[in-house]
Amino acid sequence: MMKAYLRSMLPAVLAFAFSGVYAIVDGFFVGQYIGDSGLAGINIAYPMTALLQAVGTGIGMGGSIHMSICLGRGEEEERQHYLGTTVCMLALSSVLLLVGLWFAHPTLLRLFGATGAVYDRGLEYIQVIILGTFFQVFSTGLAPIFRNLGRSLFAMCAMMAGFITNIVLDATMIGVLGWGMYGAGLATIIGQGVTALLCLIVLIFTERHVPRSQLRPTRWAVGRTLATGLSPFGLTMSPNLVIMFVNLGAVRYGGERAVAAYAVVSYVAVVIQLILQGVGDGSQPTMSLYLGEGRIKDVRFICKTAYTIALGAAVAFGALTIVGRDWFPVIFGASTDTAQMIAYILCIIAVGYLGIAVIRVTIAYFYSTGYNTYAYILVYGEPVMIVLLLLILPLFMGVNGVWAAIPLEQLIMAGLALALRAMAHRRPSSIATAG
């Protein structure tokens, strides 16, 4: 059982790590060749990028969780209905997001606190990202399907191919051709496009024998996919809402330098968050499969194992963050003043990694097993809690209150996660009792 679990989980962790490195790669080249305003511009615009990825992840995870449960129950026809429904939902959402964000992005940038050079840099970057909406949504939406069908290694390889493409194009378009923010955005969407196209080609090849009538979307599959997908959607979007709110606090209490510093900090934090999320989401296919087979004790064993791995990783990454606090600013080309602030903030946020580990694994357990209400509370409670803390702490601590709010929110929500998990064991899973 452990070998099967690790074969599913480890590629997922690496895949999530690659998705986080996408943003870091852009930040590295932008920081080296453009400077603080470019870093701040990408960070300010990132919630819109995150929205595209969150929609893809939410739909993909929502559908694939039910595919995995159907696989465990031997319900092949239902699995095919979920597959067709998921792909159609990904396509429709891509069109709606492209149109909506194209008209809304200038207003959103200003709403996020962008002004002057930061606004100009952010605008140049996000316009390219929006034009690549299809690739963003499908690359993040198709990968969970392969993980839930027992092909985690392929999902990781597809993401790795996109990642390598992104690195090569960033170096070429920013470093050699001097295309700046436009080049950073273009490199990202082409890299995502490679991942999306590889997944589409393999999916079409492996499912070519399925009758088209079974791949058509159904109302019940749409409803269940959305209900389950709201949690992974929020799990992807919530940290970026936190970034947005922290940016607003940083602008208000620390100015442009604080935003540039937090841009580098958020790059580091996002990668670690995604790796810890990978432990949770990498455990999800096994938990959902065992749930479909009625192996409830094994589901809980996998969850406990995921806690152990995630907490161990959190401690290791916390130590790495503190030890490397003076190196990260150098990597991203931050100015001397900004570098000092970055090192200070990194020491503060490292405390919250333990909270992130608990939250991410608990949420994955909830949406894997049908405790959707509990998952919603945790996912959407994070941005609410950070807003409350940002309204209070900076009044007494200034910009230091902004930084302190980050780990405090994570630790508070981790306590809530453990309380909700204890409550979950006293009531049956909605998925387990469905149908």
HSE of 350 in the Cβ direction (CA atoms, 13 Å)? 18
Percent of the chain with pLDDT over 70: 89
What is the model's pTM?
0.73
Using DSSP's 3-state secondary structure scheme, residue 60 falls into: helix
- Domain positions in the chain: 2-424
The pLDDT value recorded for residue 138 is 93
Residue 401: its pLDDT value, please?
A: 93
The pLDDT of residue 229 is above 80 = no
pLDDT of residue 420: 92
Contact 186, 179 (CB under 8 A): yes
Residue 294 DSSP one-character state = T
Which of 210, 252, 212, 223 lies closest to 112 in space, CA to CA?
252
- The pLDDT assigned to 82 comes to 84
Q: What is the DSSP letter of 432?
A: T
Tokens of 287: 């938990």
- Amino acid identity of residue 105, one-letter, is H
Asked if residue 385 lies in contact with residue 392, where contact means CB atoms within 8 angstroms, the answer is no
pLDDT higher than threshold 70 for residue 433: no
Closest CA to 102 of 129, 121, 120, 122: 129
Residue whose token pair is 């630790």: 411
The count of residues in the chain is 435
105-154 per-position pLDDT tens digit: 888 888 877 778 888 888 888 999 999 999 999 988 888 888 777 777 78
Q: Which helix (H) or strand (E) holds 320?
A: helix 296-323
Q: How far is CA 350 from CA 17, 332, 414, 434, in A?
A: 18, 19, 15, 41
Which range is least confidently modeled, 29-38, 357-366, 413-422?
29-38
- By percentage, how much of the chain surpasses pLDDT 90? 24
What are the tens digits of pLDDT across the range 273-321?
A: 888 888 887 787 778 777 777 777 888 888 888 899 999 999 999 999 9
Distance of CA 430 to the CA centre of its chain: 25
